[in-house]
Amino acid sequence: MESIISQLISMKEAIDGLMARLNIAGKEEEINQLEKEASDPDIWQDQERAKQVTQRLSQLKDEVSQWQALSQRINDALELAEMQDNSLLKDLTTEVESLQSLVERAQLQAMLSGQYDSENAILAIHAGAGGVDAQDWARMLMRMYLRWMERNGYKADILDESPGEEPNTIKSVTISVQGQYAYGYLQSERGVHRLVRLSPFDSASRRHTSFAKVELWPDIQGEIDITIDEKDIRVDTYRAGGAGGQHVQKNDTAVRITHIPTGIVVQCQNQRSQKQNRDRAMQILKARLFELEQQKQQAELDALRGENVDAGWGNQIRSYVLHPYQMVKDHRTGMEVGNTGAVLDGELMPFMEAYLRSKINSGIQS
């Protein structure tokens, strides 16, 4: 029993320290202030402010309640252990094992301390080299991420999707991911993903290699201080696609915005009106321009440190081999998983956690 008590005390000290570091007490006070603001009927006269307040309030409540629940569970277990009742030994041992796993996850999550790690995210997937196989690979990646979001309680909205040359394939897709630490976790997925398999599109069933690129931006609605000159953008409208029938818009509600100085193109078609799609597309454009500026600043710092910076996306971050053997390997961390079916069904946390640990060990900032 003494060993269990010692483990629980160590867990309690670790969680108390993390809660202090993350200023959970301060966030409780912020919740109180936001609740007062949200209860004022006048706030709804400013829809944008009301949206920001309710989103921030929901985010804080989720975060604070998570830490408080874990802390309380450890305290409850410690109280039982200190009773020195050996009949509880089996149950306490099981509880300590469960709590240890939760504490390790909490410690990892606490390391998501980048400026925008806790924000929502915008995830984009683009088919790369490999023709129709790459377009099918992009669709497989889309399903993989949607399954990961579903498994982990994230809300996903497809903002835009470009169909591929064959049925059930895509050239690109843009997804809004809403939930705590969406950007922090998904940053491990940014880069080129390589697939090796027997091609279902090859009549001779030969092995093909195809690529898809994953991009990611923090979805910081209303907070990005970037001014876009109207003369620097071209706005095109078109009829939104869909599954057919009532899902196909009869008017040109979809919007495509091209940022002329950078060549960045963003599209949105999932909103009900052209104005809503334009507003959302502008938010995405701001996020992309913000990320571009961050990359430039990082490249300058890397150059000053004498590092060789490759701005291309030719080097894959992860390989998914389905033939002649089964293996998913992350080339940055060395993480390998033989159950490719589970990974493609959204079991991505081991890769995400390995990536975060590697960042922590190397001191890289988000």
Please count the structural domains in the chain.
3
- Predicted pLDDT at 294: 78
pLDDT of 293: 84
355 vs 294: CA distance, rounded Å: 20
Count of beta carbons in the 10 Å neighbourhood of residue 102: 16
C-alpha torsion sign, points 258, 127, 299, 118: positive
pLDDT in the model for residue 205: 84
Residue appearing with tokens 């993390």: 18
Regarding whether 89 and 46 lie in a shared domain, the answer is yes
Could you say which residues of the chain have pLDDT below 50?
Answer: 242-250, 304-313, 364-366
Cα–Cα distance, 305 to 216 (Å, whole number): 25
- What CATH number does residue 104 fall under? 1.20.58.410
Last residue of a domain, one of 280, 304, 328: 304
322: number of Cβ within 10 Å: 16
pLDDT of residue 111: 78
pLDDT in tens, 48-68: 788 889 888 988 898 899 899
Q: What is the pTM of this model?
A: 0.71
Residue of 306, 298, 333 lying closest to 319 (CA atoms) = 333
So what's the pLDDT on residue 248? 45
- Same domain (yes/no): 125, 178: yes
Whether residue 206 is found in the same domain as residue 179: yes
User: Which range of residues forms the domain containing residue 144?
Assistant: 120-218+338-362
Residue 221: per-residue pLDDT = 61
Q: What is the CATH number of the domain that holds 148?
A: 3.30.70.1660
pLDDT value for 105: 80
273 shares its domain with 299: yes
Give the model's pLDDT for residue 47.
84
Task: Give bridge partners of residue 69 from the DSSP assignment.
Answer: none
15 and 106, same domain (yes or no): yes
**Predicted pLDDT at 224:** 63
- Residues 268 and 255: beta-carbon distance below 8 Å: yes
In a domain, 317, yes or no: no
Q: Is the peptide bond before 167 cis (omega within 30 degrees of 0)?
A: no
Q: What is the CATH number of the domain that holds 295?
A: 3.30.160.20
Secondary structure, 3-state, the chain? CHHHHHHHHHHHHHHHHHHHHCCHHHHHHHHHHHHHHHCCHHHHHCHHHHHHHHHHHHHHHHHHHHHHHHHHHHHHHHHHHCCCCHHHHHHHHHHHHHHHHHHHHHHHHHCCCCCCCCCEEEEEEEECCCHHHHHHHHHHHHHHHHHHHHHCCCEEEEEEEEECCCCCCEEEEEEEEECCCHHHHHHHHCEEEEEEEECCCCCCCCEEEEEEEEEEEEECCCCCCCCCCHHHEEEEEECCCCCCHHHCCCCCCEEEEEECCCCEEEEECCCCCHHHHHHHHHHHHHHHHHHHHHHHHHHHHHHHCCCCCCCCCCCEEEEEECCCCCEEEECCCCCEECCHHHHHCCCCHHHHHHHHHHHHHHCCCC
